[in-house]
Amino acid sequence: MRLKNDATHFGLIAILLHWIIAVLIIGLLCVGLYMVELPISPSKLKIYGIHKATGLLVLALVVVRLCWRVINTTPKLAMPLWEVVIARIVHWAFYVLMLAMPITGWLLTSSAGLAPSFYGLFTVPTLIAPNENLRPLFANMHQWIAFALIATILLHVAAALKHHFYDKDEILKRMIS
């Protein structure tokens, strides 16, 4: 298997980035929805700590992925134009949401005055000074971007399944091998 993409196929790097980020994001969304409801406790703090570190990991991976996408060929979509347009809109919406999600999270923890630790390896600096007025705004943004991301994931998964089972084309398969 090739590392780089070509006109018809994804390379190993694009495929790995896709699936690693997908698993991490779905995990973060589930944990995020669960953890906000918990009463304050040491385990809640622990879950928040892992959530923050993993969110920052995703941010780093998304930046790498975006660079890879820009410098690399993107395989063509062999489908009607309206589907290509919608697919590309969804793909670029993903990039916007995948960046906005960790950045608003980072701003949220910064406004609370809590510098996150990257899995205990080092402390990540805060982006802004503690600010109790801005904190609820970032909390709302983080939540609504999460809902938008969930909707986009559902759309993306539905489209992939439609191509695989209804159109019976190679769209889903080429993201696997």
Binding site for another protein (CB under 8 A): 40-43, 45-46, 48-49, 52, 112-117, 120, 123-124, 130, 132, 135
- In the bound complex, what is the minimum distance in angstroms from residue 147's beta carbon to another protein? 23
Q: Pick the closer one to another protein by CB: 46 or 173.
A: 46
Q: Pick the closer one to another protein by CB: 22 or 134.
A: 134
User: How far apart, in whole angstroms, are the C-alpha atoms of residue 47 and residue 129?
Assistant: 23
Amino acid identity for residue 134 in this structure? L
Label residue 138 exposed, middle or buried (CB < 10 Å: 0-12, 13-18, 19+): buried
Beta strands in the chain (DSSP E): none
- In the bound complex, what is the minimum distance in angstroms from residue 102's beta carbon to another protein? 16
Two tokens at 177?
């091998």
User: How far apart, in whole angstroms, are the C-alpha atoms of residue 129 and residue 140?
Assistant: 18
User: How far apart, in whole angstroms, are the C-alpha atoms of residue 167 and residue 132?
Assistant: 51
Q: Pick the closer one to another protein by CB: 48 or 94.
A: 48
- In the bound complex, what is the minimum distance in angstroms from residue 144's beta carbon to another protein? 21
Q: Pick the closer one to another protein by CB: 85 or 113.
A: 113
- In the bound complex, what is the minimum distance in angstroms from residue 24's beta carbon to another protein? 19
Return the SS3 of 143: helix
